[in-house]
């Protein structure tokens, strides 16, 4: 009996020790990158009412006291970026030392399969020029955090990923868009880069939005439990709870988003959903101006390849474009020249990543003379049997004259659209649209089809978004 009591006491004390140790979310770990010149939030768990001391090798210190539930939170300042490896020591019921930390620029990537698609490819879909990037992937100053797929019906404290240095093994399994974006930033800024990827293929946008933002939608059913099969766990709010919420306000420079294909069958609420997602994520990261750059879904022939009718890919693209025009500090990458009508995972990820990087380099890092904004329609006027479309361009940009411009349709008030011909104004900033079959034109549509592939570009090399002048 005495022996049993002794064993019980030893087990009890061991359990108490384990439960009172400091616990940090996984993204506070060895090899992490912290955002430069910021007041960085840091948090964790310990036994209730524990005194926490935090000291950094770059000379900053801070402290906290855990609350009655054991949660603690503090902030610590970072300095200007450098390639010096730092340590961070957290002392409480035990001591944790985080090593090989860099201070630089941190970006967060999320969405569905086209963001998740790694450099090594996805199934039969390959990434164009992947070998070029993999051959130069050994770089200890680029750090990658790949957050595994997981879901929850309640907000979670932690995630399961970890920071790793970029090398052949880590890069080939990382988001191609995220990696190429990060490498491009590194080459232009010459500072440490941290890229966090938290994405899941085949997911609707509703699964990435917090519960308080989706309760207003009567058509969205929020689950109380999740199916055992992981691929069926992609329910409304469930991915936000497990894959976004744990990051709380871990300081980042901005967000990249590539999603929309899975909402194609119900496109009308998408603009509202996307606004809610951006607003809620900015609220979570405590930054109402947090940069949010996203990708317009690429051309794909859904009917041919998925045995499905045309259900609204064009309307998703339209919603994405409108969000980019209506919400400040957002930007859109147009992909009508970077898709594949026979592959929903197009290979031209380099084009997408480079265009995203130009948004960041121009807007956040003030690099000059970058052409990163696609031209947008500024004014429509009708004269006789022609419609003139005047566009707003970046400085020194204009349309390249193209024979047989694809994608324009024209209609009269009868709402019947016919393929249109296109000519260019003298300054190549206005398009003249007409058709022999429409004598009194009223409206224009451009690119309103699932697998539209543009042949109209500007001097900058950028295509324009699909658009329409009607609301029929």
**Listed residue (246, 245, 248, 276) closest to 263, CA to CA:** 276
Residues 212-244 pLDDT 10s: 999 999 999 999 999 999 999 999 999 999 999
Looking at residues 56-60, what average pLDDT do you find? 98
pLDDT value for 305: 76
Tens digit of pLDDT for each residue in 154-185? Answer: 999 999 999 999 999 999 999 999 999 999 99
Average pLDDT, the chain: 94
200: which 2 tokens? Answer: 């899941």
3-state secondary structure of 424: strand
Tell me what pLDDT residue 20 has: 67
**Predicted confidence band at 17 (pLDDT cuts at 50, 70, 90)?**
very low
Boundaries of every domain in the chain: 21-102, 108-363, 376-468
Q: Which two tokens stand for residue 194?
A: 């941290």
CATH of domain 108-363: 3.40.50.1110
pLDDT at 13 over 60: no
How many Cα atoms sit within 13 Å of 383 on the Cβ side? 5
State the average pLDDT over residues 35-46.
Answer: 98
Helix (H, G, I), strand (E, B) or coil at 76: strand
3-state secondary structure (DSSP) of residue 41: strand
pLDDT of residue 143 exceeding 70, the answer is yes
Strand duo 467-468 + 443-446: pairing: antiparallel
pLDDT at 332: 98
Task: Please compute Rg for the chain using Cα positions.
Answer: 25
* Residue 3 pLDDT > 80: no
> Is the predicted pLDDT of residue 16 greater than 50, yes or no?
no
- What pLDDT digit, counting tens, does each position of 319-347 carry? 999 999 999 999 999 999 999 999 999 99
Angle between helices 176-189 and 349-363 (to 10 degrees): 40
Going by pLDDT thresholds of 50, 70 and 90, the confidence category of residue 303 is confident
pTM, full prediction: 0.94
Indicate whether 9 pLDDT > 50: no
Q: Is the pLDDT of residue 205 over 80?
A: yes
pLDDT at 19 over 70: no
Which option is the CATH number for 376-468: 3.40.720, 1.10.3470, 2.60.40, 2.40.10?
A: 2.60.40
Residue 14 pLDDT > 50: no
Residues 6+ apart with CB under 8 A from 165: 31, 139, 140, 142, 143, 144
Q: Are 71 and 45 in contact (CB under 8 A)?
A: yes
User: How far apart are the C-alpha atoms of 371 and 328, rounded to whole Å?
Assistant: 19
Residue 311 has pLDDT above 90, yes or no: no
- Between CA 261 and CA 297 the distance in angstroms is 7
Q: pLDDT for 129-138, tens place per residue?
A: 999 999 999 9
Task: Say if 21-102 and 376-468 have the same CATH topology.
Answer: yes
Per-residue confidence at 304, pLDDT binned at 50, 70, 90? confident
Q: Which two tokens stand for residue 203?
A: 């997911």
Q: Is 286 left (phi over 0), alpha (psi -120 to 50) or beta?
A: left
Which CATH fold topology does 21-102 show? Immunoglobulin-like (2.60.40)
Question: 317-350 burial by CB neighbour count: b if 16+ within 10 A, else e?
Answer: bbbbbbbbeeeebbbbbbbbbbbbbebbbbbbbb
Closest Cα partner for 391 from 424, 418, 362? 424
- 289-308 average pLDDT score: 88
Task: Report DSSP letters for 378-419, one per residue.
Answer: EEEEEETTEEEEEEE-STT--BPP-TT--SEEEE-TT--EEE
Q: What's the pLDDT band for 306 if we cut at 50, 70, 90?
A: low
Instruction: Give strand pairing partners of 389.
Output: 380, 431
What pLDDT digit, counting tens, does each position of 189-200 carry? 999 999 999 999
Q: CB burial class (10 A; 0-12, 13-18, 19+) of residue 9?
A: exposed
Q: Is the pLDDT of residue 450 over 50?
A: yes
């Amino acid at each position: 009996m005495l022996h049993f009591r002794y064993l019980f006491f030893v087990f009890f004390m061991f359990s108490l020790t384990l439960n009172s140790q400091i616990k940090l979310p996984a993204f506070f770990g060895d090899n992490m990158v912290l955002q430069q010149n910021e007041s960085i939030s840091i948090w964790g768990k310990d036994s209730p009412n524990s005194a926490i001391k935090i000291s950094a090798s770059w000379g900053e210190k801070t402290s906290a006291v855990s609350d009655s539930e054991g949660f603690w939170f503090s902030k610590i300042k970072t300095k200007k970026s450098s390639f010096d490896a730092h340590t961070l020591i957290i002392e409480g019921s035990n001591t944790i030392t985080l090593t090989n930390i860099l201070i630089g620029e941190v970006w967060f990537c999320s969405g569905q399969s086209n963001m998740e698609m790694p450099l090594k490819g996805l199934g039969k879909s390959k990434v164009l020029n992947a070998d070029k990037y993999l051959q130069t992937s050994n770089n200890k100053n680029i750090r990658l955090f790949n957050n595994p797929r997981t879901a929850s019906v309640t907000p979670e404290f932690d995630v399961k990923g970890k920071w790793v240095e970029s090398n052949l093994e880590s890069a080939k399994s990382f988001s191609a868009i995220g990696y190429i974006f990060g490498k491009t930033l590194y080459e232009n800024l010459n500072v440490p880069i941290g890229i966090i990827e938290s994405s899941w293929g085949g997911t609707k946008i509703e699964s990435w939005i917090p519960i308080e933002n989706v309760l207003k939608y009567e058509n969205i059913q929020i689950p109380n439990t999740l199916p055992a099969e992981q691929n069926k766990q992609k329910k409304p709010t469930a991915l936000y709870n497990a894959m976004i919420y744990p990051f709380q306000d871990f300081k980042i420079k901005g967000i990249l988003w590539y999603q929309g294909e899975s909402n194609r069958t119900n496109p009308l609420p998408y603009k509202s959903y996307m606004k809610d997602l951006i607003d809620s994520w900015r609220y979570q990261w405590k930054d109402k101006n947090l940069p949010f750059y996203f990708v317009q879904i690429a051309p794909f022939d859904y009917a041919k390849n998925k045995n499905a009718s045309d259900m609204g890919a064009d309307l998703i693209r339209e919603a994405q474009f409108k969000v980019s025009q209506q919400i400040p500090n957002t930007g859109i990458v147009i992909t009508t020249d970077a898709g594949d009508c026979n592959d929903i995972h197009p290979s031209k990820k380099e084009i997408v990543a480079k265009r995203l990087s130009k948004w960041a380099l121009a807007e956040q890092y003030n690099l000059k003379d970058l052409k990163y904004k696609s031209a947008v329609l500024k004014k429509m006027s009708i004269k006789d049997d022609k419609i003139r479309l005047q566009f707003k361009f970046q400085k020194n940009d204009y349309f390249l004259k193209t024979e047989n411009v694809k994608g324009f349709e024209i209609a009269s008030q009868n709402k019947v659209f016919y393929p249109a011909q296109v000519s260019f104004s003298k300054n190549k900033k206005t398009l003249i649209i007409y058709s022999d079959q429409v004598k009194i034109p009223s409206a224009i549509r451009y690119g309103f089809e699932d697998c539209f592939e543009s042949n109209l570009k500007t001097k900058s090399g950028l295509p324009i978004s699909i658009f329409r002048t009607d609301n029929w």
